[in-house]
Amino acid sequence: MPAFTIVGERLLLTFWVGGMWMVGFVVAPTLFHMFPQDRMLAGNIAGQLFTLTSYIGLLCGVLLLLGAAVRAGAGWLSDTRVWTLAVMIAITLVGEFVLAPMMRVLKAGGLPDGSAQLAHFMRLHGIASALFLVNSLLGLGLVAFGLRGGSR
């Protein structure tokens, strides 16, 4: 495999996973800490950053998945890296195109304290957060163990 391909894959993986960790575990909590009186503003900014991170992840993930599948050849179905990337892409798709739109609709309708809408929003947010954590850990695994190697 040419060195530029290896470097390109490392850069894509770093951009995607590093972005997830930075936005999810540094920037978003910082926003809520800086704007404790305006959680709506902090949430709107964080939401935009998560959307951007999702699109970056989808682009990087698809390119990485194609590269991993080509590299795995006929054995791509048994390659854990291919499946890890596929799961990460699927989680990103669910978060961005299923959960995020549902949360936006609820926010647009208002989230009064103690309302059923707020409770539903919090459930969706909890699911999105859990999926984001799973994705972040899967990405960390790829960073730690690499995109290279055979089936495991």
Query: In a 10 Å sphere around its CB, with 0-12 CB exposed, 13-18 middle and 19+ buried, how is residue 126 labelled?
Result: exposed
Which amino acid would we find at residue 49?
L
pLDDT along the chain (152 residues), means of 10: 74 96 98 95 96 98 92 87 96 98 94 93 97 98 78 40
Predicted pLDDT of residue 150: 46
Smallest Cα–Cα separation from 25: which of 111, 135, 102? 135
Angstrom distance (rounded) from CA 48 to CA 120: 21
Write out the two tokens for 113: 């304290």
Q: Which residue has the tokens 């890296």?
A: 81
The model's pTM: 0.90
Are residues 25 and 80 in contact, defined by beta-carbon separation less than 8 angstroms?
no
Predicted pLDDT of residue 1: 55
Spatial CB neighbours of 11, under 8 Å, sequence gap ≥ 6: none
Q: φ, ψ for residue 113 (rounded to 5)? A: -55, 135
